[in-house]
């Protein structure tokens, strides 16, 4: 009998409700490993329910095993930062998003949350209440061949066209994973606002937001973690590669929709134009921080602008920055930065957009 088959025989054990017999809860501590994209987690028992991250104990892990510390001084300290309900264990059990520090209290180099939190706590940024909506695209791959779900092994499906928001056994693959993820995120307390099938078959998207400031990064990382866990159960590989299949196939991005209080108020369109102008002046710095391998995606084809070109337009999906028709018509609203790759770090991207548009003086 396979391991997975054995578990199937005892779902009652997996679904045990701890609150019937104990006040103790399980807290799954989540952090980001040395590559900047590998999510790690481990669990511990706590004496009772917790809803405030500051009431949770700090913890540590072996950083030499995650590429984040040398073997002779390998201890890295986890600081709990945000709590979510655990959709896998349920009850009062929780998922805990953490960031990582040296024993002396210095953020380790891969801790991108620490610098982002500084920007988001700046009084000028706080006053502007930056809102984010992040469109996370991803690709589901067959485990043993690392080829998209639903594609013939070593071959290709019919050309793009019928798959975007598609329905049917020959057009949509992986919907059970996508729907499970959608509900699990809502259960966890993540402000997931929608899902859809993407242009390339086997590729999907979920949207997180609106979320304010640092919570956009926390929510997106935990949504990624939950998706990674669901694909693990399904025996499917999750890829955030910005261009998983070369050729005439759409890449995968993580478009960032953004607005400040000034942009949402009357006269906001002028504020938006000034913000976009600043983003254009720092285009190369943003591109450098917007995800590995993005040059394979930002080719000027497949609904992207060329990586070396900065342009914006109303309702233009081939632009670096797109402004919606509604925003233009109402004279206020938000804009969409279409440059971030699917493997971007949301702490980096959200804080950088806030820093450039609110704090930076050209």
Mind listing the pLDDT tens digit for each residue in 284-317?
999 999 999 998 888 877 667 788 889 898 977 7
Identify the CA nearest to 96 among candidates 85, 82, 109, 117: 82
The backbone torsions φ and ψ at residue 26, rounded to the nearest 5 degrees and listed phi first, read -110, 130
- Mean pLDDT value across the chain: 93
Classified as helix, coil or strand, 6 is helix
- pLDDT band, residue 145 (cuts 50/70/90): very high
Q: Say if residue 210 is preceded by a cis peptide, omega within 30 of 0.
A: yes
Total H helices, total E strands in the chain: 11, 14
Contacts of residue 63, defined as CB under 8 A and 6 or more positions apart, other chains included, come to: 69, 74, 75, 76, 100, 108
Encoded tokens for 234? 């399904």
Q: Is the pLDDT of residue 9 over 50?
A: yes
What are the tens digits of pLDDT across the range 206-228?
Answer: 999 999 999 999 999 999 999 99
Q: How far apart are CA 130 and CA 257, in angstroms?
A: 10
Amino acid 316: pLDDT: 76
What are the tens digits of pLDDT across the range 91-130?
Answer: 999 999 999 999 999 999 999 999 999 999 999 999 999 9
Encoded tokens for 206? 């979920």
Q: Residue 43 carries which DSSP code?
A: E
Q: Is the pLDDT of residue 10 over 70?
A: yes
Identify the CA nearest to 163 among candidates 153, 176, 152, 150: 150
Encoded tokens for 150? 């639903």
Q: Is the pLDDT of residue 2 over 80?
A: no
Amino acid 1: pLDDT: 39
What are the tens digits of pLDDT across the range 40-85?
Answer: 999 999 999 999 999 999 999 999 999 998 877 889 999 999 999 9
């Amino acid at each position: 009998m396979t391991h997975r088959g054995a578990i199937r025989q005892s779902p009652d054990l997996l679904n045990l409700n701890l609150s019937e017999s104990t006040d103790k809860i399980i807290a799954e501590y989540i952090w980001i490993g040395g590559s900047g994209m590998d999510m790690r987690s481990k669990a511990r028992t706590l004496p009772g329910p917790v809803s405030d991250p500051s009431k949770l104990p700090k913890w540590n892990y072996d950083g030499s095993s995650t590429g984040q510390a040398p073997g002779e001084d390998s201890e890295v300290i986890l600081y709990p930062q945000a709590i979510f309900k655990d959709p896998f264990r349920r009850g009062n059990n929780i998922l805990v998003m953490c960031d990582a520090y040296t024993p002396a209290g210095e953020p380790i180099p891969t801790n991108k949350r620490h610098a982002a939190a500084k920007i988001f706590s700046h009084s000028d940024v706080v006053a502007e209440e930056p809102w984010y909506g992040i469109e996370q695209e991803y690709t589901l791959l067959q485990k043993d061949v690392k080829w998209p779900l639903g594609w013939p092994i070593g071959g290709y499906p019919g050309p793009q066209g019928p798959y975007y928001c598609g329905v049917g056994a020959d057009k949509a693959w992986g919907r059970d994973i996508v729907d499970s993820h959608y509900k699990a995120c809502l259960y966890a307390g993540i402000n997931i606002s929608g899902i859809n099938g993407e242009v390339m078959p086997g590729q999907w998207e979920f949207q997180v937001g609106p979320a304010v400031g640092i919570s956009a990064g926390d929510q997106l990382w935990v949504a990624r973690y939950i998706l990674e866990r669901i694909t693990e159960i399904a025996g499917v590989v999750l890829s955030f590669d910005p261009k998983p299949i070369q050729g005439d196939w759409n890449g995968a991005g993580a478009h960032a929709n953004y607005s400040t209080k000034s942009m949402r108020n009357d006269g906001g369109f002028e504020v938006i134009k000034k913000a976009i102008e600043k983003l254009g002046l720092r285009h190369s710095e943003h591109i450098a921080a917007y995800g590995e391998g993005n040059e394979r995606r930002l080719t000027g084809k497949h609904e992207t602008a060329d990586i070396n070109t900065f342009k914006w337009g109303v309702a233009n999906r081939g632009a670096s920055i797109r402004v919606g028709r509604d925003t233009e018509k109402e004279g206020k609203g938000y804009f969409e930065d279409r440059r971030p790759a699917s493997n971007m770090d949301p702490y980096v991207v959200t804080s950088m957009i806030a820093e450039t548009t609110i704090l930076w003086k050209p």
